[in-house]
Structure 1
Amino acid sequence: MVPTLGRPQRVVIKIGSSSLTSRHGEISLRKLEKLTAEIVCLKDAGYEVVLVSSGAVAAGYRKLGCSERPCSLPEKQAAASIGQGLLMESYSKLFLSHGYIASQILITRSDFLDENRYKNVRNTLNVLLDRGIVPIVNENDTVTSDRLRFGDNDTLSAKVAGLIDAEMLIILSDIDGLYSADPLKNTQAKPIRHVTAITPDIEAAAGGSVSAMGTGGMKSKIDAAKIAMASGITIFLGNASRKNIVSDACLGRAKGTYFKSLQPAGNLNQKKKWIAFNSGPEGEIWLHKESQLAFIEEHKCLRFNDICKLSGHFSEGTVIRVMDTEGDEIGLGVVNISSKELTRLIDLKTERSQLTTTVMEWDDFVCNLDVPCLAGITN
């Protein structure tokens, strides 16, 4: 049993395709029943739960007439359009049998790139959670192009966890967490139970996908862990087939790998989370050395005279990378001026000392020093 909480605790659960389907590629009702029952246990104890569910393509491709998982984008999207409905129908029936309502949220990466749409997704999820609904999130595979894909639901789940200020992200697949090497290839591989920082050794231990039904391997889970850890969220990786894996993960006693940073996550409000993990930088500016120190240490706004050069084409209100004189990234921030106007001002060399145009406010900037792993995260 999960102990009843004094207040709701938000948990995001991501389930992989191989953990939802049979070896023939069909939806496994037994696996769905097990997952649903474990989520219901959390709901009954007062938790607020968001489920990020894979499996749409895997569930739909055979009904599309394909003998094996399709490779072409149009066939994947067609299979997803069939499988998504089958998944939601099954989830809805199972949750209703326990007295809970499930809802569907289909997201594309462009929904997170745009700040207003990002806020809309957050507001919708908050309303659903406040009303006791179980939101079931998936990438909108039927319309998403490769250029605007999250890449896998591991990354999506980490970004959703940050979006709703979840305390925990549980990623379930068909293996017992992270090992020192691929356990299917190396019999000497040892399980890693606790990770407090994503080091080169940890990244080296991550291999490729271990299932023909899935798209994300251990590397994608490490990338997701970077995002979640930088947001101050605890992550658990474990095997979906284990009994009570969800409740045991919440209690800290499940067999698997726990990721929890020992460093503070920094004061990241939703604006800064969007800048750090979802915005997609469109250009770069380089700062003079003395300006860099004033900006980082004194939290002063950046003005035109602080910039020595820029690159890329960006408009007012977009996110760019802020670089030091050595070309190393300092952080990410929202600019108040376009690259076209900045270039024009740079060309006005004779009056530069009198130009005090504000380029970036400190409150619209996320510093790598304040957010562990930020420099290693790609949007």
Structure 2
Amino acid sequence: MIRNTKKQRIVIKIGSSSLTSRHGEISRKKLEKLADEVVYLKDIGHEVVLVSSGAVAAGYRKLGCLERPHTLPEKQAAASIGQGLLMESYSELFLSHGYIAAQILITRSDFSDEVRYTNVRNTLNVLLERGMIPIVNENDTVTIDRLKFGDNDTLSAKVAGLVDANHLVILSDIDGMYNANPTSNANATLLELVEEITPELEAAAGGSGSYVGTGGMKSKIEAVKIAMASGIPTFIGKASRKNIVIDAVSGMAKGTYFKRKSTSNKLNQKKKWIAFHSGPEGDIVINQPAKEIMIKNRQSLTVSGIHQVMGKFEKGSVIRVNDCQGTEIGLGIVNYSSAELKKLLEQKVISAITPEFAIKKEDFVCHSEAQITV
């Protein structure tokens, strides 16, 4: 086992099936294994954020359900019970080794609002710098539209980008990414290194893999795409393997490593927020010369490059930028409201009285830059 003592910031995501027994209750043995590996990383100087699933799975039997609930109120009620049980166990285990666990419950709106996004980032940075172990989860008790397939896989990638992590480790009940579905294809081969997410790889990703979990390989690939766009190496492997987290960080684990060939054009924090966390509020259509200027030349968009304005939005909103063929090419923060832009287009008023760019180059992320599949 290679011990890399250079300080690293590591985000670990663990799925429900990797934390619970076959009856759906918290497995103390599984929790202890994970805690021991996190403690080892902490002891040699690394910073660790844990994105933990398992709240619904841990709580539904305490709620009186014989099987995992299907209705939203029951899921939320189970999560309210299970989240407390998880944190109690994590706190006890980490405190026995001298480390303090801190609970962070996040909703999608915490990411879509730039001020709240920054606040979450600042909170996590303070906790990490002071030696705590943040334990992050989707706030399932109050969230309406995110208790669904793969939410915590994506959340872990967003958290990794948020804290500028050096590694993202996604643990599940599978060994990694295969070139075909291993449950139905005996000739499927485990991919040890992936440098690009191709359509063929996405097609090989199947559905939800386990009874107690909500995520499958498809959601993990979506998470990997977000992490790779942020320049964060990612590993997917089987949680039950001995020293899986330690070996994953050391580059020695059995599983799949995802790493871009070049990270020279990775997104900064602002562009990460625009690309992956903001909620676009409208659309504009730009002409072909403007498209070339924005994508090939990486220059700002002038009002004269806008062909059409769709929807209603205010100045400072994030909007979708489309070409004349209807293809979405990127997202950007607009310097005019939709009403102002429509008025300018109707009057055919160009830059003489509109000194600001419609979208500045530093406020625009094209999908090819972020490796987003629309």
C-alpha offsets along residues 17-45 of structure 1, whole Å, 9 cap, x if unaligned? 00000000110000000000000010011
> SS at the partner of 2:369?
coil
Q: How does 1:242-261 map to 2 (within 5 A)?
A: 242-261=241-260
Tell me: CA distance 1:207–1:147, structure 2 relative to 1, closer, same or farther (3 Å).
Answer: closer
Is residue 63 of structure 1 aligned with residue 62 of structure 2? yes
Partners of 1:304 and 1:357 within 8 A in 2? no
Counterpart amino acid of residue 305 in structure 1? S
Partner of 2:25: 26
Partners of 2:316 and 2:335 within 8 A in 1? yes
Tell me: CA distance 1:187–1:149, structure 2 relative to 1, closer, same or farther (3 Å).
Answer: closer
Partners of 1:108 and 1:150 within 8 A in 2? no
Partner of 1:262: 261
> SS at the partner of 1:360?
coil
User: How much has 1:301 moved relative to structure 2?
Assistant: 2.8
Partner of 1:356: 354
C-alpha offsets along residues 228-262 of structure 1, whole Å, 9 cap, x if unaligned? 11111111010000000001001111011111111
Partner of 1:272: 271
Partners of 2:286 and 2:324 within 8 A in 1? yes
Partner of 1:181: 180
> SS at the partner of 1:172?
strand
User: How much has 1:150 moved relative to structure 2?
Assistant: 8.8
Counterpart amino acid of residue 271 in structure 1? K
In 1: Cα distance, 2:187 partner to 2:271 partner: 42
Is residue 165 of structure 1 aligned with residue 164 of structure 2? yes
Counterpart amino acid of residue 356 in structure 1? T
Partners of 2:148 and 2:214 within 8 A in 1? no
Partner of 2:5: 5
Partners of 2:170 and 2:235 within 8 A in 1? yes
Partner of 1:330: 329
Partner of 1:221: 220
Partners of 2:150 and 2:216 within 8 A in 1? no
In 2: Cα distance, 1:294 partner to 1:246 partner: 44
In 2: Cα distance, 1:353 partner to 1:158 partner: 40
Question: Is there any run of 5+ residues in structure 2 with no aligned partner, and where?
Answer: none
Partners of 1:304 and 1:355 within 8 A in 2? no
Q: TM-score, normalised by structure 2?
A: 0.95
Tell me: CA distance 1:183–1:153, structure 2 relative to 1, closer, same or farther (3 Å).
Answer: same
Counterpart amino acid of residue 320 in structure 1? I
Is residue 212 of structure 1 aligned with residue 211 of structure 2? yes
In 1: Cα distance, 2:49 partner to 2:131 partner: 11
Tell me: CA distance 1:238–1:316, structure 2 relative to 1, closer, same or farther (3 Å).
Answer: same
Q: How does 1:96-115 map to 2 (within 5 A)?
A: 96-115=95-114
In 1: Cα distance, 2:184 partner to 2:300 partner: 53
Question: Is there any run of 5+ residues in structure 1 with no aligned partner, and where?
Answer: none
Aligned pair count reads 373
Partner of 2:344: 345
In 1: Cα distance, 2:293 partner to 2:181 partner: 46
**Deviating more after overlay: 123-132 vs 170-179:** 170-179
Counterpart amino acid of residue 76 in structure 1? K
Partners of 2:231 and 2:266 within 8 A in 1? no
Q: How does 1:189-200 map to 2 (within 5 A)?
A: 189-200=188-199
Partner of 2:87: 88
Query: What is the aligned-residue RMSD (CA, Å)?
Result: 1.8
Partner of 1:305: 304
C-alpha offsets along residues 135-156 of structure 1, whole Å, 9 cap, x if unaligned? 0000000000116979510000
> SS at the partner of 1:89?
helix
In 1: Cα distance, 2:289 partner to 2:318 partner: 23
C-alpha offsets along residues 318-365 of structure 1, whole Å, 9 cap, x if unaligned? 11122223333332110011112211222224x457543531111111
In 2: Cα distance, 1:235 partner to 1:77 partner: 30
User: How much has 1:370 moved relative to structure 2?
Assistant: 2.9
Partner of 1:289: 288
User: How much has 1:299 moved relative to structure 2?
Assistant: 4.2
